[in-house]
Structure 1
Amino acid sequence: MLVKFKVFDKQLKIVREVKNIDYENSELLFDAYVKEDGSKNIETYRGFDDVIFMMSTGLIDKDGAEIYEGDICYWEKSGFRGIFTVSFGTESLKWIADSNCKFNSLSDYKEYYLKIIGNVYEGSQLYQE
């Protein structure tokens, strides 16, 4: 199983997909875009202490976007709906829907309508340095 990561860059305050991880030098490489249209790609190196790692859960939302740790998801099924934050349960050792949701295990939502609506880092008051 291939483990995929995104990172939240504490300096730029953005979430980006990781291109390369250099464990020997404790740094990683990702692309930071200057413009919203994606032009002016700047390859950026950061130390592990300068980012927050977000690991993929392996689940996909209704638009085909991969769901990562720290994502905020909207769910809906049979007229019921809610919002949860994705996290990893260190006691249960599984991905969990962290809120007052119907289920605790993220895998229980596989058959639900799921949509990523944000994450706990970008544009959020939840992340404070």
Structure 2
Amino acid sequence: MLVKFKVFDKQLKIVREVKNIDYENSEILFYSDNNAEKKDRCSLDVFRGFDDVIFMMSTGLIDKDGAEIFEGDICYWEKSGFRGIFTVSFGTESLKWIADSNCKFNNLGDYKDYYLKIIGNVYEGSQLYQE
């Protein structure tokens, strides 16, 4: 299984997909903007040390729009007239991805048949992350 990461850059205050991880030098490489897939646009590479970013690991789940759900994402869910919002985190006691809120289910895998939509993350534009 391929493990994918995003990072929150503490300096630029942005979340970006990781292009490369250099474990030997404790550095990561990511694009400075979201135009990395567009061949006609130039995108600057950014190098950061591990201490300068917060890693966000993929859960392997996909939302209704086909976006991959990562640790730290805030998701809206709905099923059979019930709805709610949760934050995705990894439960160190249960060793499972969990929906961190007052929802009925704690195991994120229980939401795979629900309508899920990523509506943000806990880092960008949020008062939840304070340095």
TM-score band by shorter chain is over 0.9
Give the Cα–Cα distance (whole angstroms) in 2 for the partners of residues 2 and 62 of structure 1.
Answer: 22
- Equivalent position amino acid for 1:5 in 2: F
2:80 aligns with 78
1:26 counterpart = 2:64: no
2:58 aligns with 56
Aligned-residue sequence identity (percent) comes to 86
Residue 41 of structure 1 and its aligned partner are, at CA, apart by 1.0
- CA-atom RMSD, angstroms? 1.3
Report if aligned partners of 2:20, 2:29 keep a CA contact under 8 Å in 1. yes
Q: Which runs of 5+ in 1 are unaligned?
A: none
Residue 33 of structure 1 and its aligned partner are, at CA, apart by 1.9
Moved over 2 A (4+): none
Q: Deviations over 1:22-62 (max 9, x none)?
A: 00000010000298xx7441100000000000000000000
2:16 aligns with 16
TM-score normalised by length of structure 1: 0.95
Matched residue count:
127
TM-score normalised by length of structure 2: 0.94
Q: Which runs of 5+ in 2 are unaligned?
A: none
